[in-house]
Amino acid sequence: MNSSRCAACKHLRRRCPSDCIFSPYFPANNPRRFAYVHKIYGASNVGKILQDLPVSRRAEAADSLYYEAYCRIKDPVYGCVGLITILHQQIYDAQCQLARIQAEIAALSSQSQSEVQQYRQDENVGPSFLPDQNGVPNSTSYYDISTWFD
């Protein structure tokens, strides 16, 4: 037997040919990687999936198969779908939170604008860029230059 067999061929107890579909992605120094993938998908299915892909995409496919197999072994009921479900829920919660905060901001924004308008009406205050009575420039960043030309 070839002493430099890949992890797949070692696991399957067969000769590792020079064009072995598995050997670039299941090196001999990581037997667990192929063991997981084999347990969940089977060697034949993994071989078919890799074979159907261009060579440039096979490494990523082998990795994703490994991680999905890993998830399934850790959680036989839900596998990585459990993680997807959790993420969907967290995204929904975050969106609700964001909507609540944006609604608060909108409410406070309209409240403060109406307070400023009311203040100007009550006090007959001129253009807001004029400093207040202490000489401090008004913090409201509203400049109404239309009154300059009255």
Partner 1 sequence: MIDDTLRVNKRRSGMKSYQEQTRSSTSCAACKFLKRRCTPNCQFAPYFHSDEPKKFAKVHKVFGASNVSKILNEVAEDQREDTVNSLVYEAEVRLRDPVYGCIGAIASLQHRMAELQHDLILARARLASYVGHRPSFLDDHGGLLVAPSIDFPESNSLPFDQFGRFHFP
List contacts with partner 1 (CB under 8 A).
25, 32, 39-42, 44-45, 49, 52-53, 57, 59-68, 70-72, 74, 76-84, 86-88, 90-91, 93-95, 97-98, 101-102, 104-105, 108-109, 112
For residues 15 and 1, is the Cβ–Cβ distance under 8 A? yes
For residues 28 and 16, is the Cβ–Cβ distance under 8 A? no
For residues 75 and 82, is the Cβ–Cβ distance under 8 A? yes
Distance between CA atoms of residues 23 and 106, nearest Å: 59
Residue placing its CB nearer to partner 1 in the complex, 1 or 91: 91
Residue placing its CB nearer to partner 1 in the complex, 1 or 108: 108
C-alpha 80, offset from chain centre: 15
Closest approach of partner 1 to the CB of residue 143, in Å: 20
Residue placing its CB nearer to partner 1 in the complex, 27 or 127: 27
